[in-house]
Structure 1
Amino acid sequence: MKKTLLSIFLLLLLLLQSCTTKKNMLYLQDIDKYSNSQLNYATTKIQPNDILKIDIGDLNPTVAAPFNHNAATSNNSDVEMMKLSGYLVTPQGNITMPILNEVKVGGLTPTSVEGVIKQRLITEGYLVSPTVLVRVLNNKFTILGEVNSPGVKPFTEESISLLDALGLAGDLTYSAIRKDIKLIREVDGKRLVYHIDLRTASWMSNPEYRIRQNDVIVVSPNKLKVNSGGLIKDPIQVLGLTASILALFLLIKQN
């Protein structure tokens, strides 16, 4: 009787392990419901401590040269060197450019800043037909908690998806809570916190959930990881190992 009960217990334990894995571990379980859904992209706004690369051109390059204080490194492929020669946005949201002096850029998109600088060059009589290109050089996000490679991660795009960010961090660990990924963002002097459930695809079309400059992603551990003080790295494997040991013990006992 005891052996029968133990066998039933082991079977239930293995079924529970399988169900828990599917329910809490799989990403985007309802992805088919959101097939062909409309994609929306949010434009990133420039923040304090951003480093901007600004290239100004004209039909006559000689006339535009004085407005490019970083012209010596504009063709340099070393991003770190370009950062050193870029324009650092002050806490007040300003940069200081040659001849134009102070330019307000905080809270504007890179495209808007291009328009502001171009308009000033024309209306103040410096250039007739200028071209302006603005690029943020120090795009990065921070990811902490239950990922395989936490830390500060740079990216070159204006924004990336949350799944891209998790990929750069080596994916979540087995101990990660997938139903409540925290995304922390500072906008216009306010801190916003978003909660994202990776088990569903409902969040994927929301432009607010795309990762932008200076975002912070926090992945919390599950209760088993917390209660064990971090000693248990992979609860699913521990559960499976326990079931296997009990099954082996039962087999030996029966023989």
Structure 2
Amino acid sequence: MRPICILLFVVMITSCISNKRINYLQNLSGNEAIELDEFIPYADVDYEYVLQPHDIVEIDFASPDEELLRAFEYQGASAARGARGGGGAAGGGAMDVFYFSGYPLDKNGFVRMPVLGTIKLSGLTEEAARIKVQEAVNVYFKEDVEVRLRIGGIRFTTLGEFQSVGPKIILKNRATIFDAISMAGESSILARKNELFLIRQYDGGTKIHQINLNDRQLLASPFYFIQPNDILYLQPMQIRQIGSGENFSASLQLGLSIITAVMFFYGITSGIF
């Protein structure tokens, strides 16, 4: 029985998960640890998102002349905007209203608009892109036409140990990585929260970054805010290979199952059964 007890002990130890692997935003950086109530500046306070190819932007126009505004509208775009309604976020199953009412940038970063033709917006911030469209409008129309431009939501994808995986949309122009995690339904207890892989698009290519969700230093990281087209992938812990291990009862049930199998095998080989 002694080997069986040792086996049970080993199973219980390997099936338990420390809170240090689960809790968010711990102090893990030694002398640089962040204390409670401490002010944490952003990694880049002057950072602004730069539009990239295949982004979708919303462009609205305002003018006292309603007939003039119709020249800038594709048929059906106005109805799509009216059906948008309220709400701050949309999941993967919700209709992507900006896909129907927004203006997509092509692979070269150009957007095609009625009357104005093609305008290159990639490489520009929201405000710089708005000014560029405003200048194009002023060339064609002398009447007062005001332009509003903004990103058509933040599209990202979650994979791995999230309750909900797949493409998602946050209808804001800025969102944190925890906004994305909460929309994905929180991560599984078996997730390696110290090894979240963030796959981010850059001009001309892609980079993979590793993020530690357990560490408070994330709040001062350049990856604290997600960007359009980000992919978040959470790997499972190795414990999944031997069982769920999500709670004590699951671990105990796993251990008892192993002991039962060992005792049955021992009984057969010893001639007891």
Normalising by structure 1, we get a TM-score of 0.77
Cα RMSD over matched residues? 3.4
Q: Per-residue deviation at 1:42?
A: 3.8
Q: Which residue does 2:71 correspond to in 1?
A: 66
| Aligned with residue 244 of structure 2, among 210, 233, 236 | 233
Between the aligned residues of both structures, percent identity stands at 22
Distance of 2:220 and 2:233 partners within structure 1: 21
Letter of the 2:35 partner, please give it: K
Q: Per-residue deviation at 1:174?
A: 1.6
Residue segments in structure 2 that go unaligned for 5+ positions in a row = 28-32, 85-94, 259-273
3-state SS in 1 of match to 2:174: coil
Residues 145 and 220, structure 1, Cα contact 8 Å, conserved in 2: yes
Note the alpha carbon deviations across 1:133-170, whole angstroms, 9 max, x for none.
11333531111011111111111012311111111111
Letter of the 2:63 partner, please give it: D
Q: Which residue does 1:249 correspond to in 2?
A: none
| Aligned with residue 113 of structure 1, among 129, 133, 152 | 129
Q: Which residue does 2:206 correspond to in 1?
A: 191
Q: Which residue does 1:205 correspond to in 2?
A: 220
Distance of 1:178 and 1:75 partners within structure 2: 38
3-state SS in 1 of match to 2:60: strand
Compared CA separation, residues 86 and 178, structure 1 to 2 (3 A) = closer
Q: Which residue does 1:142 correspond to in 2?
A: 157
Compared CA separation, residues 201 and 127, structure 1 to 2 (3 A) = farther
Residue segments in structure 1 that go unaligned for 5+ positions in a row = 247-255
| Aligned with residue 114 of structure 2, among 98, 119, 142 | 98
Distance of 2:222 and 2:146 partners within structure 1: 29
Q: Which residue does 2:82 correspond to in 1?
A: 76
Q: Per-residue deviation at 1:214?
A: 0.9
Normalising by structure 2, we get a TM-score of 0.73
Compared CA separation, residues 167 and 85, structure 1 to 2 (3 A) = closer
Q: Which residue does 1:175 correspond to in 2?
A: 190
Compared CA separation, residues 82 and 165, structure 1 to 2 (3 A) = closer
Distance of 2:252 and 2:215 partners within structure 1: 26
